[in-house]
Structure 1
Amino acid sequence: MTLTRLAPALFVLLWSTGWVSAKYAAVYADPLTFLVIRYLSAVILFYAVCRFAGVAWPKTKSGWWHAIVSGVFLHGLYLGLVWWAIGQGVPAALSGIIAGLQPLMTAVAAGLIVGERLSGVQRLGLALGFVGIAVAVLPNVLALDAVSIPGYAVAVNVVAMVFVTAGTIYQKRFLKHGDLRAVATLQYVGALAVTLPAAFLLEDMHVDWEIGFFAVLVWSVLGISMGAVALLLHLVRQGEVSKAASLIYLVPPLAAIEAALFFGEDLTLPMIVGTLIVMIGVYLTNRRTKADKD
């Protein structure tokens, strides 16, 4: 079985653990401070991989800058804003609903900017994916005390979706060539460039250097920053960005299942039904059309 066939399932599985990792990481470090350490570790490890493998770096200054700028959007601004918003009181359930905006934003932007055209069935799949997330997590959102949720933090979470959408489109348009390992290294340089000053200005940069911290860090770097992100870059380069982005729909329901397994949180009937709807939506968006087969 080829990497292209395995990549979607592996990406969703690895990326979904980011929600669980974030919950563990909050016990040991401030959110942005943890991301600074995670990004720095990813830069060092990716650079070591590139040196060992003799990877070719971009041949032009624009190639370097495109990779760095895409990292600012995809990791620095997107993940930094989401983690900060959750730290300010945005519940994971509500953040999951907001995350469902990304595939819809990406589909619209891809059509306008890079000329992607989705079939009616694929558009239906995107809509079903968002409906599935709503069914899965909306009951939890409705049970929340809305007054206690900072409106500015919710707005920041929404802005984060705009940045990750922009980063995905930017990646597809300007980084069509070059070794993905070199691209990933430079992307984390960009992420570090914006996250480090933000952590310095907004946090005490507190870290508890315990075994649990290092365990979460190792998984966050190797499993997510290196494994999941490399797969996402591969998916974006190999296919349509709308299809790759639709996989994000599977993350919140799968994260809810993982939370039930690791934290004992309730796995409700709406979560199960919503997950099934999401799976149908993602299948419709990503299924091969007759044109793809030809």
Structure 2
Amino acid sequence: MSKPILYVSMLLLMMIWGFNVIAIKVIVEYFAPITITAFRILTAGLTVMIIVWIGKEYRNVTKMEWVYIVIASLTGVLGHHFFLAVGLANTQASNAGLILGLVPLMTTVFSVLLLGDHLTISKFLGILLGFFGVAFIVLNGNGRLSSISIGDLYIFFSVISQAISFIFIKKGTRTLHSRFMTGWMLVIGSVCLFMTSLLLEPKGLSTLQSGTSIVWIIFLGSAVIATALGHSFYNKAIHHLGPGETAIFINLTPFFSLVGSYFFLGEQISLLQLAGFIFILFGVLLGTGVLGNEWPKIKLHKKRHTTIS
């Protein structure tokens, strides 16, 4: 798959994920957050594994590949979705949007530390522009962050967990098909989430009776389209583009969340928020190397690099 097609596909995926933030917010308001997240991720995992089985992509996994799968499951599924679900239930959407915008920055840091990646000037400026654009969007309401809450900390922990998982997804997909790895990650992570929900939400299963048919449709759309198919493609993009470059696109999700809020919740979009999107757009163009590709690299390491295998 060529880079232009990957970039367009990533743009569409970020739109889906932006709308998915609204879907998750609706879901966790009806059900116990961790419990419903476990079932949502399990539904996504089983969907991916069915696709893997139909496509005859299933195979035996080596010990080292299991290490990558398990670590990615614990960080990218258990850690990320646990903190995201609980965080969204305990903080404002604006705060969550800004903190989630830190994913590219954290991913780049871990890519440099664990993969020995170089940080180019254009990519560095792109990340800064993207972060600035996210700030424009999420701070539009009152121009400042409210005091840090426990929900804010949970969202930040979800950012760290997801950034770490991208590194091990990159390592795992060197030998594993991205969809195959995604399926195992989602299934293993959902089981861990369910065990966690039994401890933290002992009455969580009883809340599943309170959902309406529309809410369950939203649940299925979030699980199958955004999580199952979305994460399968995203992990494939990590394999082709690398974790740092791929994560830059996540800066687009707050904008699409705003668009979804406008169409589905009747909220208004201001000129300041549109200005934020422009910063994000140029941030993505710089960060992915579409612009400024000829700029020199920042030497953050010595000539001889060591990476974790």
Instruction: Say whether the fold is shared (TM-score over 0.5).
Output: yes
Gap change, CA 1:283 and 1:162, over 3 Å in 2: same
Query: Could you tell me how far apart the structure 2 residues matched to 1:11 and 1:142 are?
Result: 29
Quote how far apart the aligned CAs of 1:171 are: 1.3
Query: Could you tell me how far apart the structure 1 residues matched to 2:96 and 2:16 are?
Result: 18
Any unmatched runs of 5+ in structure 2? Answer: 296-309
**Is the CA contact 1:71–1:190 (under 8 Å) kept in the aligned structure 2?**
yes
* Mapping of residues 164-183 of structure 1, within 5 Å: 164-183=162-181
Quote how far apart the aligned CAs of 1:141 are: 5.4
Aligned partner of 1:95 in structure 2 is 96
Q: Is the partner of 2:49 in helix, strand or coil?
A: helix
1:145-196 deviations in Å (ceiling 9; x for gaps): x46x6x3222222111111111111211343122222211110122113211
* Mapping of residues 132-211 of structure 1, within 5 Å: 132-140=133-141, 142=143, 146=146, 151-203=149-201, 204-205=203-204, 206-207=207-208, 208-211=210-213
Aligned partner of 1:127 in structure 2 is 128
Quote how far apart the aligned CAs of 1:5 are: 4.4
**Is the CA contact 1:93–1:141 (under 8 Å) kept in the aligned structure 2?**
no
1:116 aligns with 2:114: no
**Letter paired with 1:255:** S
How many residue pairs align between the two structures? Answer: 287
Quote how far apart the aligned CAs of 1:290 are: 5.3
Any unmatched runs of 5+ in structure 1? Answer: none
**Is the CA contact 1:15–1:224 (under 8 Å) kept in the aligned structure 2?**
yes
Aligned partner of 1:258 in structure 2 is 260
**Is the CA contact 2:44–2:223 (under 8 Å) kept in the aligned structure 1?**
yes
Query: Could you tell me how far apart the structure 1 residues matched to 2:97 and 2:130 are?
Result: 12
**Is the CA contact 1:106–1:245 (under 8 Å) kept in the aligned structure 2?**
yes
**Letter paired with 2:166:** T
**Letter paired with 2:70:** I
Query: Could you tell me how far apart the structure 1 residues matched to 2:263 and 2:211 are?
Result: 26
**Is the CA contact 2:136–2:273 (under 8 Å) kept in the aligned structure 1?**
yes
Moved more, 205-214 or 280-289: 205-214
Query: Could you tell me how far apart the structure 2 residues matched to 1:130 and 1:209 are?
Result: 36
1:15-46 deviations in Å (ceiling 9; x for gaps): 11211111221343222121111122122222
**Is the CA contact 2:178–2:239 (under 8 Å) kept in the aligned structure 1?**
no
**Is the CA contact 2:46–2:187 (under 8 Å) kept in the aligned structure 1?**
no
Aligned partner of 2:274 in structure 1 is 272
Moved more, 6-15 or 56-65: 56-65
Aligned partner of 2:13 in structure 1 is 11
Gap change, CA 1:238 and 1:141, over 3 Å in 2: farther
Query: Could you tell me how far apart the structure 1 residues matched to 2:45 and 2:100 are?
Result: 26
Aligned partner of 2:72 in structure 1 is 70
Quote how far apart the aligned CAs of 1:143 are: 6.6
**Letter paired with 1:160:** S
Query: Could you tell me how far apart the structure 2 residues matched to 1:4 and 1:78 are?
Result: 24
**Letter paired with 1:119:** T
**Is the CA contact 1:57–1:178 (under 8 Å) kept in the aligned structure 2?**
no
Q: Is the partner of 1:139 in helix, strand or coil?
A: coil
Aligned partner of 2:22 in structure 1 is 20
**Is the CA contact 2:134–2:276 (under 8 Å) kept in the aligned structure 1?**
yes
Displaced runs of 4+ in structure 1, greater than 6 A? none
Moved more, 63-72 or 265-274: 63-72
Query: Could you tell me how far apart the structure 2 residues matched to 1:209 and 1:271 are?
Result: 33
Q: Is the partner of 1:176 in helix, strand or coil?
A: coil
Aligned partner of 2:302 in structure 1 is none
CA RMSD of aligned residues (A): 2.1
Query: Could you tell me how far apart the structure 2 residues matched to 1:219 and 1:105 are?
Result: 29
- Alignment TM-score, normalising by the size of structure 1: 0.90
